[in-house]
Amino acid sequence: MMGQTIATIEWRALDRDGTDKCRLAKTPGGWMLIGHARFRDASGWAALDYVVRCDADWQTTSCDVTGTQGGGAVALRLTNANGSWSLNDQEQSQISGCTDVDLGFSPATNLMPLRRAPEVGRLDVRAAWLRLPGPMLDPLDQSYTRERGGYVHYTARQTAYEAHLAVDEHGFVTRYPGLWEQTHEA
């Protein structure tokens, strides 16, 4: 079951050649993000498809990433059971306690914490940060503070990245300074 489509978005990469197309769907048990990222990085061209599943409270339960990167096959399955994460059925204790997945190659996964962020105030989260090639999995401490005009002040502690993200009514980032910007919404 692919669910009922709620919104779609397309981004263009600002720091490299690339695009990402994503669909948000409502499912009987929660939510799904279904996306297709195509980009060039230091390892060559990547064609990655991803599916992120969340429960009704926007907590990540699993994530699949498949495709190719730099000429090699990618087939990853992350699962989260009450903060205990596994990658391809291998326990990942270094990301124990993380609430979300952050796909380092896509802006799509900011959606989950943005959907949980309060209208006033700040949300601090620890995400399971997936980077490719590798895969490399580490915790990424993030904070989201809503501001006027549809902006959110975002920080990622481990990368020292800080920016004002533009966000649409569905929770998708439409402008990620220096990294991504929306090109189309259906």
Looking at residue 103, its pLDDT comes to: 97
The rounded distance, in Å, linking the Cα atoms of 97 and 75 is: 24
Looking at residue 176, its pLDDT comes to: 94
Q: What residues have CB less than 8 Å from 130, skipping those under 6 apart?
A: 63, 65, 76, 78, 101, 102, 103, 104, 136, 137
CA-CA-CA-CA dihedral for 139, 61, 155, 65, to nearest 10:
80
Query: What is the DSSP pairing of strand 44-55 with strand 60-69?
Result: antiparallel
Looking at residue 177, its pLDDT comes to: 95
Residue 186 CA neighbour count, 13 Å, CB half: 9
Tell me how many domains the chain contains.
Answer: 1
What is the overall mean pLDDT for the chain? 93
- Tell me how far CA of residue 81 lies from CA of 32, 45, 114, 183, in angstroms: 17, 33, 21, 35
With bands split at pLDDT 50, 70 and 90, how would you rate the model's confidence at 184? low
Looking at residue 40, its pLDDT comes to: 94
- Domain of 145 in residue numbering reads as 4-184
Yes or no: say if 36 and 20 are a contact pair by the CB < 8 Å rule: yes
Q: Of 38, 52, 55, 140, nearest to 94 (Cα)?
A: 140
Whether the model pTM is above 0.85: yes
Q: Of 110, 121, 122, nearest to 179 (Cα)?
A: 110
Q: Note the pLDDT tens digit of each residue in 50-63.
A: 999 999 999 999 99
